[in-house]
Amino acid sequence: MTGLEPAAMKLLATLLRSRPATRDELRLIRTVPPGADRLLDQLIRADFVEEAEGRLTYHAPDRTVQEQARTLAGLVGLLPELSREWRQGAERRATLDIELVHRPGTRWQAWTRVPQAALNLCPTLDEVEDLVAGQSRGRVVLPASVVVGEADRRAVDELVTAGMRVRLARCVETWLYSGPDGLCALPVVWGEHPPTSIMLVRDPSIRALTAAYAEGVWHGAEPYRRPRPEWQDVLRLLALGMSDRAIASAHGTSQRTVERRIAEAMAHFGVGTRFELGAAWSVEQPGER
């Protein structure tokens, strides 16, 4: 799945909203990027889409990503043993470049030595302050279940304000760090959180699989969006079929203000029509998932 082009992921979002039944129907969609057939083939190979006798069907993305994530998680768990066997079979004996850091008190002291702009998987909000302090250009995936109250949202908003890109996933199985410049970090016990001990790893094979797993979780998660209360009532009434004039009357404001808020919401969600806006907005509403 990590071999998918960014344009393929954008196409997938369009497909999941519009569900064209054939390639011909797909080509009629105005927002489809160039090279749609080639991108669609990528999505078929990644098991997001299935094509049989010219008909397209769509798999739930969370199911597809979870299946791939489970496979990668199993591989990551086997990495130390597999890498040891690989080294023993080589002509020259070597050891993995791994630093073990034990005890919670020393864990974050070691963490100050790692580079910035990384991808972090965090099962809880406990690391928010460390991320804000140490990584102003990185990415983080959190479970949607830990961002439920105002205090939770404020903590996540701090990450966004600091320059972090945040996504929410249905499940984050373990703490994990995947750096862009030769370093990853894993808990010694997979899934333990907070980890009692961590491994700082520079071995290329382990880094590659760790990055593949982390990117899979990232692409399967949904972007976190700061709540915009001024949109909510407008979009809710729009979804009920009310006209802009009727919404303006209900809010005691001008029709131009309503139109501006709808335009802002369309720009925020990156859609070109009100139908697409309704589909994108409904995904975020409680009970719609």
Tell me if residue 201 falls in helix, strand or coil.
strand
Render pLDDT for 92-150 as a digit per residue (tens, 0 to 9).
555 566 788 875 555 445 444 444 568 889 898 887 666 655 555 688 999 887 876 67
Residues 277, 236 contacting (CB under 8 angstroms): no
- The span from the CA of 174 to the CA of 124, in Å, is 10
**Confidence band for 277, pLDDT divided at 50, 70 and 90:** confident
Q: What percent of the chain has pLDDT over 70?
A: 80
Residues 106, 197 contacting (CB under 8 angstroms): no
Q: Which helix (H) or strand (E) holds 101?
A: strand 98-101
163: alpha, beta or left? (left if phi > 0; alpha if psi -120 to 50): left
What's residue 21's pLDDT? 93
Render pLDDT for 155-214 as a digit per residue (tens, 0 to 9).
888 888 778 888 988 889 888 888 876 788 888 888 887 788 888 888 888 888 888 899
| CA 172 vs CA 89, 176, 220, 234, 288: distances in Å | 35, 10, 11, 33, 21
How does strand 98-101 pair with strand 198-201?
A: antiparallel
| Interior/surface letters 41-51, b for 16+ CB within 10 angstroms, e for the rest | ebbeebebbee
